[in-house]
């Protein structure tokens, strides 16, 4: 089996997480500070190539009612631009509450307000997005074995 890459796409940063080879556990990677559309896409493509990623999972920020707001439209546009660059499937995954859950987890873990700056929340949010997707895959396809 190969790895999956999870992304929490924001206007200033992209939180990044990577699965293990068995697609069981998500781990956060360093957060990417956005530079510009072309360089952002090239950086993600390099991660896909370097880590032999088979699929990219992008958090889609729906509203509380489940509709797509302005930020979700930006993420969908990013996904469309990413697909031809990475040449692997790029799927969206509902990310409602992941940033607030990430912040809460860091607070409960004793991380100071200062320590939660600089993309830490984005990295944890990306990890939560990818982990929830991995957990879904295990339930949706329980008979598929790693390898």
- pLDDT tens for residues 88-119? 999 999 876 555 555 566 556 665 555 545 56
- Report CA torsion sign: 129, 130, 135, 136: positive
Q: What is the pLDDT of residue 147?
A: 43
Residue given tokens 């080879």 in the structure block = 21
90-94 and 53-60 beta bridge pairing: parallel
Residue 22 to residue 30: CA distance in whole angstroms: 21
Region for 66 from its dihedrals, namely left if φ exceeds 0, alpha if ψ lies in -120 to 50, beta otherwise: left
pLDDT tens track for 12-59: 999 999 999 999 999 999 999 999 999 999 999 999 999 999 999 999
Residue 33 to residue 62: CA distance in whole angstroms: 23
What's domain 3-140's superfamily in CATH? YqgF/RNase H-like domain (3.30.420.140)
pLDDT tens track for 52-86: 999 999 999 877 777 888 889 999 999 999 999 99
Q: Which residues, at least 6 apart from 85, have a Cβ–Cβ distance to it below 8 Å?
A: 41, 42, 44, 45
53-60 and 13-19 beta bridge pairing: unpaired
Q: What is the pLDDT of residue 98?
A: 59
Q: Which residues, at least 6 apart from 104, have a Cβ–Cβ distance to it below 8 Å?
A: none
CB 118 within 8 A of CB 10: no
């Amino acid at each position: 089996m190969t790895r999956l890459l999870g992304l929490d796409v924001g206007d200033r940063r992209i939180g990044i997480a990577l699965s293990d080879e068995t697609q069981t556990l998500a781990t956060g990677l360093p957060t990417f500070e956005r530079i510009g559309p072309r360089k952002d896409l090239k950086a993600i493509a390099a991660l896909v190539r370097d880590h032999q990623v088979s699929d990219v999972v992008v958090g889609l920020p729906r509203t509380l009612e489940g509709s797509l707001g302005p930020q979700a439209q930006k993420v969908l546009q990013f996904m469309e631009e990413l697909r031809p660059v990475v040449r692997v499937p790029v799927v969206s995954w509902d990310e409602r509450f992941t940033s607030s859950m990430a912040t809460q987890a860091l607070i409960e873990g004793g991380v100071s307000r200062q320590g939660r700056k600089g993309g830490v929340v984005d990295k944890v949010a990306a990890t939560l997005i990818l982990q929830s997707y991995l957990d879904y895959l295990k339930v949706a396809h329980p008979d598929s074995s790693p390898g």
